[in-house]
Structure 1
Amino acid sequence: MRLQLNTKILLGFAVAAGVLLLTAIISFLSIRQLAVQTRSVEHTYQVLQEAEQITSRVRESESQVRGYLLTADTAYLQNYAPSRRQVEEGFVRVSELIADNPAQIQRLDSMRVLVRQKYQNMQRLITPQRALTASSIRTILDTGRLSMRAIRGMFERIKAHELQLLALRNQQQSLYETIAPVTIIVSAVLAILITLWLFQKISGEIAANEQLRQTLALTNEETTRRIEIVERLAGQVLDGDYKVKIRDQEKDSLGNLANLLNRMTQRLDESFGALENRNKELDQFAYVASHDLKAPLRGVTTIVKWIEDELTTELSPQMRQYLDMMKGRLTRLEDLINGLLAYARIGRTEQKVEETNVGHLVNEVTEMVVPAEFKVDLPDTLPVFFTDRLSLQQVFTNLFSNAVKYHHQGAGTITVRCRENRQDYEFTVADDGPGIAPEYHEKIFLMFQTLRDRNTAESTGIGLSIVKKIIDEQKGSIRVRSETGQGATFIFTWPKLPADYQLVA
Structure 2
Amino acid sequence: MKSRIDPKIIAGFALAIGILLLTAAASFWSVRGLSVQTERVEHTYQVLQEAESITAALKDAQAGTRGYLLTGDTAYLRPYSIAIGQLPASLERIQSLTVDNLVQRARLDSLRLLVEQEFRILRPLTEVNKSMGQAAMQTLLDTDRQTLRQVRLLYDRIKSSEMALLAQRSALQNVFEQATPVVVLLSAVLAVLIVVLLVVKITKELADNRRLQGELADINATVSRRIAQIRELAEQVVQGDYTVKITDFNDDNIGGLAMSLNRMTQTLDASFGALEKRNQELDQFAYVASHDLKAPLRGVTTIVKWIEEELAAELSPQLRTYLDQMKGRLSRLEDLINGLLAYARVGRTAQPTETVDVAQLLAEVAELVVPPDFSLAVGPNMPTLLTDRLGLQQVFTNLLSNAVKYHQRGAGNLAVTCQDEGSHYEFRVQDDGPGIAPEYHQKIFLLFQTLRDRHTAESTGIGLSIVQKIINEHQGTIRVESSPGQGAGFIFTWPK
Tell me the TM-score normalized by structure 2: 0.52
Q: Deviation digits for residues 145-204 of structure 1, max 9, x if unmatched?
A: xxxxxxxxxxxxxxxxxxxxxxxxxxxxxxxxxxxxxxxxxxxxxxxxxxxxxxxxxxxx
In structure 2, the partner of 1:378 is: 378
Other-structure match for 2:264: 264
Match of 1:357 in 2: 357
What SS does structure 1 have at the residue aligned with 2:411? coil
Report whether the alignment pairs 1:308 with 2:308: yes
Q: Which residue of 2 aligns with 1:415?
A: 415
Deviations 1:268-313 (A, max 9, x none): 1112222222222222222212211111111011011111111112
* Structure 1: gaps of 5 or more residues: 1-205, 497-505
> What is the CA–CA distance in structure 1 between the aligned matches of 2:392 and 2:398, rounded to whole Å?
10
Secondary structure class of the residue paired with 1:264: helix
Contact 1:449 1:462 in 2 (8 A): yes
Secondary structure of the residue aligned to 1:449 is: coil
Cα pair 2:332 2:460 within 8 Å, conserved: yes
Shift of 1:372: 2.9
Q: Return the letter of the residue paired with 2:238.
A: L
| Deviation, structure 1 residue 448 | 1.5
Q: Is the 8 A contact 1:370 1:401 kept in 2?
A: yes
1:336 maps to what in 2?
336
What does residue 91 of structure 2 align with?
none
**One-letter amino acid matched to 2:357:** N
1:30-49 matches, within 5 Å, as none
Specify the alignment match of 1:19 in structure 2: none
Which has the higher Rg, Structure 1 or Structure 2?
A: 2
Q: Distance in 2 between matches of 1:288 and 1:399?
A: 29
Matches of 2:233 and 2:261 in 1, distance apart? 9
Q: Compared with structure 1, are the counterparts of its residues 231 and 476 closer, same or farther at alpha carbon in structure 2 (3 Å cutoff)?
A: closer
SS at match of 1:439: helix
Equivalent AA in structure 1 for residue 446 of structure 2: L
Aligned partner of residue 269 in structure 2, secondary structure: helix
Task: Report Cα offsets for 1:304-345 as digits up to 9, x if no partner.
Answer: 111111111222222211111111111111111111221222
C-alpha spacing 1:382/1:323, structure 2 compared with 1 (3 Å): same
Q: AA paired with 2:300?
A: V
Gap change, CA 1:314 and 1:382, over 3 Å in 2: same
Whether the 8 Å contact between 2:377 and 2:414 is mirrored in structure 1 is yes
Q: Contact 2:335–2:460 at 8 Å: present in 1 too?
A: yes
Amino acid in the other structure paired with 1:278 = R
Distance 1:366 1:240, change over 3 A: closer
Deviation for aligned residue 1:362: 2.1
Number of the residue aligned with 1:294:
294
CA distance change for structure 1 residues 336 and 231 in 2, over 3 Å: closer, same or farther? same
| 245-254 or 270-279, larger mean C-alpha shift | 245-254
CA distance, structure 1, for counterparts of residue 465 and residue 482 of structure 2: 18
Change (3 A) 1:311 1:239: closer
* Structure 1 position 398, deviation (Å): 0.7
Q: Quick one: structure 1 residues 351 and 379, their matched pair in 2 at CA, closer, same or farther if it must change by over 3 Å?
A: same
SS at structure 1 position matched to 2:365: helix
Give 2:473's aligned residue.
473
**Which residue in the other structure is 2:489 paired with?**
489
Matched residue type, 1:319:
L
Residues 385, 318 of structure 1: CA spacing in aligned structure 2 closer, same or farther, 3 A cutoff? same
**What value does the CA root-mean-square deviation take over the aligned residues?**
3.4
Render the CA deviation track for 1:219-241: whole Å, top value 9, x for unaligned.
Answer: 88876665554444334433433
Q: Which residue of 1 aligns with 2:320?
A: 320
Q: Within 5 A, what are the aligned runs for 1:98-177?
A: none
TM superposition shift of 1:416: 2.0
How far did residue 253 of structure 1 move?
4.6
Partner AA of 1:417 in structure 2: T
Q: CA deviation at 1:381?
A: 6.1
How many angstroms does 1:356 deviate by? 2.9
What is the alpha-carbon distance in structure 1 between the residues aligned to residue 465 and residue 383 of structure 2? 25
**TM-aligned CA distance change 1:229 to 1:428, over 3 Å:** closer
Indicate conservation of the 8 Å contact 1:328/1:458, yes or no: no
User: For residue 233 of structure 1, what is the aligned residue in structure 2?
Assistant: 233
1:448 corresponds in structure 2 to 448
Say yes or no: does 1:462 pair with 2:432.
no
2:291 maps to a residue whose letter is H
**Cα distance change of structure 1 residues 350 and 449 upon mapping to structure 2, 3 Å threshold:** same
Pick closer, same or farther for the CA change 1:451–1:263 going to 2, 3 Å: same
Cα 1:219/1:287, change in 2 over 3 Å? same
Change in Cα spacing, 1:307 to 1:273, as seen in structure 2 (3 Å) is same
Residue 488 of structure 1 and its aligned partner are, at CA, apart by 0.6
What letter is aligned with 2:461? G
CA contact (8 A) 1:448 1:462 kept: yes
* CA apart distance, 1:435: 0.9
Q: Is the 8 A contact 1:405 1:457 kept in 2?
A: no
Mapped to 2, the partners of 1:237 and 1:352 lie a distance apart of 22
Distance 1:357 1:231 in 2: 39
Q: C-alpha displacement at 1:248, in angstroms?
A: 4.4
Secondary structure, counterpart of 1:376 in structure 2: strand
2:287 is equivalent to residue 275 of structure 1: no
Q: Residue 458 and residue 423 in structure 1: after superposition, are their counterparts in 2 closer, same or farther (change >3 A)?
A: same
- Aligned residue number for residue 432 of structure 1: 432
Q: Is this contact kept in 1: 2:335–2:458, CA < 8 A?
A: no
Maintained 8 Å contact 2:329/2:457: no
Aligned counterparts of 1:227 and 1:367: Cα–Cα separation in 2: 57
Residue 116 of structure 1 aligns with which residue? none
TM-score where L is the length of structure 1: 0.51
Cross-structure match for 2:50: none
**Which 5+ residue runs of structure 2 have no aligned equivalent?**
1-203
Q: Read off the aligned partner of 1:463 and give its amino acid letter.
A: G
For 1:168, the equivalent position in structure 2 comes to: none
Q: Distance in 2 between matches of 1:281 and 1:456?
A: 32
Q: Any idea what the Cα deviations from partners look like across 1:18-45, whole Å, max 9, x if unmatched?
A: xxxxxxxxxxxxxxxxxxxxxxxxxxxx
Counterpart CA distance in 2 for 1:431 and 1:412 is: 7
2:392 is paired with a residue whose SS is helix
3-state DSSP class of the match of 2:337? helix
